[in-house]
Amino acid sequence: MPATLQWQQSTAASATWSGSDSFIRFKAANNNTDDLNNPLVRPSAGTNYSWEKALRIYVASGTFTQLSSLRVKLSTADIGTGLGGNVAQAYDFKSAYTQPIGTGPMAGREGALGTSEVAWNNAVNHAIGDGVAVQWNGSDLLYCQLEIGTGSGGELTSWNTIAVYNEI
Amino acid sequence: MDLTNKQIQVAHLNGFHYIWQLERDDGKIVSQFEHDGEEVALAERFKILPKSPLDKYGDSIVVEGVRRGAWVATVEGLNSMSVDVEKGENLVIYRKSYLGSDSMKYFCYCLGVRREDVETDPVELVYYLCPPTVVLDKFKKPREFKGGITRSKDPLHRNEFDTFSSKL
């Protein structure tokens, strides 16, 4: 059967991974619960940041010969409407686990807001929305964070972070 | 290169749309499932072509010693597809898999040949078979993907599902 892969998250000081079979919600709290508590709000100045999400792809089961070329992308370049480019999902890859942080941007990885409807960026403001995937060393962990800038109005919609890989 | 009912039954149970079937250079046909339904690991029967990290087709999986390769449909209504591998060519065959953070799963099937007339400038001509499916868009509404087949030698080619899913 095909390899059964699973997104997993960890919030603990030491990595404690659990499967994610529902939506990953960025929030102002360090937990994996998909609820309406601890919402992110627009700041009157500057930028607000969600707690980071520490994610990995876990091979749960399956009979397969080879998995290769892990990549990751977002399902859309526009994660909302009328947001004026002031919301983005930033990302980083880390070779070792560190507990997610909840204050400020991921070190050195703040994306530029307000320049365009960037849905997915990193330190070099590398926009990879609209179906374009970036390489992901499978031994690395993926850290994501939502950044939200000033402004008013607009609607943030749901979107999908998609792992892409080849298998035979 | 027909399949037995037993093989098809097992493939169905394992959630496959297509299963691979390869004809070796010596004429022997190897299928993803034995007649008793046991799954075969492709790399145990065939040699996977090693590639340079700089190979522009680094994402693909290439199999040596094959003169014909096929993805055989196990679902009524889907067409099977095969390619003949000429002298100086190797078979390209793999599943491109998608795993969304909302647990969306999708398989696209790649099939083609790789030529190395110029060692430093290989060319891969690949078909992408994208079966129909239904996925949720960013508003969590079901959206129908009608499927499609494209052919490309561009290593960064976006198949029909990539294009569809980028507009969700």
ipTM of this predicted complex?
A: 0.85
Residue of chain A minimizing CA distance to B159: A131
Convert the pLDDT of each residue in A110-135 to its tens digit. Answer: 555 544 334 454 433 344 444 556 77
User: Which of A5, A7, A76 lies closest to B168 in CB terms?
Assistant: A76
Nearest to B99 among A63, A66, A163 (CB): A163
- Test mutation, B12, B99, B157, chain A, max A CBs within 10 A: B99
The verdict on a CB contact (< 8 Å) between A68 and B39 is no
Spell out which residues of chain B touch residue A68, defining contact as CB-CB under 8 Å: 59, 61, 94
Give CA angle at B72 (B66, B77), nearest 5°: 155
Write the burial class of residue A106 (CB in 10 Å: 0-12 exposed, 13-18 middle, 19+ buried): buried
User: Whose structure tokens read 């990539």?
Assistant: B162
Task: Report whether pLDDT(A47) > 70.
Answer: yes
> So what's the pLDDT on residue B1?
59
Report pLDDT digits (tens) over A72-117: 887 766 666 777 667 777 777 888 999 998 877 765 555 555 443 3
CA–CA distance, B153 with B168 (Å, rounded to integer): 26
| pLDDT at residue A125, as a whole number | 36
Contact call for A160 and B104, based on CB within 8 A:
yes
Q: Which pairs with CB-CB distance under 8 Å and at least 24 residues apart come from B149-153?
A: B149/B81, B151/B112, B151/B125, B151/B126, B151/B127, B152/B125, B152/B126, B152/B128, B153/B123, B153/B124, B153/B125, B153/B126
| A contact residues 26-65, partner B, Cβ 8 Å cutoff | 55, 57, 63-65
On whether the CB atoms of residues B89 and B117 are closer than 8 A, the answer is: no
**What local confidence, expressed as pLDDT, does residue A34 receive?**
82
Name every residue whose Cβ is closer than 8 Å to that of residue B141 and which is 6 or more positions away in sequence: none
Residue with tokens 């949720």: B136
B60/A166 Cβ within 8 A:
yes
Nearest to B94 among A6, A24, A168 (CB): A168
Q: Is A155 an interface residue toward B (CB < 8 Å)? A: no
Report yes or no: B157 at the A interface, CB cutoff 8 Å. Answer: no
Alpha carbon separation from B120 to B57, B154, B168 (Å, rounded): 12, 16, 38
Q: A66 in contact with B at a CB cutoff of 8 Å?
A: yes
Contact in structure between A1 and A63 (CB atoms under 8 Å): yes
Q: Is-above-0.90 flag for pTM?
A: no
Of B77, B150, B69, nearest in space to B108 by CA: B150
